[in-house]
Amino acid sequence: MVGSAIVRRLQAEGFFNLILKTRSTLDLTNQQAVTDFFQEEKPEYVFLAAARVGGIAANQNYPADFLYENLMIQNNVIQQSYESGVKKLMFLGSSCIYPKLAPQPIKEEYLLTGALEPTNEAYSLAKIVGLKLCETYRKQCGCDFISVMPTNLYGPGDNYDLENSHVLPALLRKFYEAVRDGKDEVVIWGTGKPRREFLHVDDLAEACYFLMQNYDGEYSLNIGTGKDISILELAELIKKLTGFEGEIIHDTSKPDGTPRKRLDISRIRELGWEAKISLQEGVKQVYMDKFLGD
């Protein structure tokens, strides 16, 4: 999802000298394969968006996969970017790197000041290591490697698998299928009280393009909207959008995850960037394209 959005943004700006590989043609967890790729292609700029990602269920069920695969991807790409003399690298992390009970809104300096959310600890640890790799290569080797921490993302190319997806695409699918199948209830995980911030992936791509040109600082930058919404409010928004007339049922046997996660975006705002796509506008467009496009 993220990589495709960045490609669309670069192409819209007139860049067509892009080096693109799919998972089937380049396994980023394979050190030799990554070494060969960098030696043959010699990229000048790298957007490191590749990762093993998923929602609460996927993180709980496959923690070893999330930790191992993400560490390998990051280690291989960052090391080879250094060895091959890449001019600039951007590492994309995640807002889940911050402590579970971090003060709100979450500032970049809150990293490593408290315990992580247990349901996605493995993924969070991997992303923290990636951020620190960029910091240390910059400090020790003088590399222009920067890190950004996006909030929860949605948009074209999202994963709608109910077992492994994030909350927004999962809710879109649940409500769409409930309307299609004439169901009278939709079940959502937990209490619905946790609050989340959502950013359209096209806004993220614009931010990444902007920062690759305008930021070379030592510290990571948050990317978000600065606004959050409860899971129940999100469900109500999607319920109205889809025309579902039944009930929303809470499965409180499922975990809530982090109580609140809203990023402080003061630093990126000071650089001159802000998100443009509202949540209501973005969710409506995604729903129309994904489920009503035919």
Active site residues: 123
And the tokens for 112? 């490593």
The count of C-alpha atoms lying within 13 angstroms of the C-alpha of 49, restricted to the half-sphere facing its C-beta, is: 19
Query: How far is it, in rounded angstroms, from Cα 135 to Cα 130?
Result: 9
- Under DSSP, the state recorded for 263 is B
257: left (phi over 0), alpha (psi -120 to 50) or beta: left
Question: How would you classify the pairing of strands 185-189 and 247-251?
Answer: parallel
CB 291 within 8 A of CB 181: no
Interatomic CA distance for residues 74 and 28, integer angstroms: 8
What's the one-letter identity of residue 216? D
User: Which tokens in the block code for residue 60?
Assistant: 């709980």
Q: For residues 123 and 71, is the Cβ–Cβ distance under 8 A? A: no
Please, where are the H alpha helices in 19-120? 31-41, 56-61, 63-83
List of residues 6+ apart from 288 with CB closer than 8 A:
none
CB 190 within 8 A of CB 252: yes
Whether residue 93 contacts residue 36, with contact meaning beta carbons closer than 8 Å, is answered with no
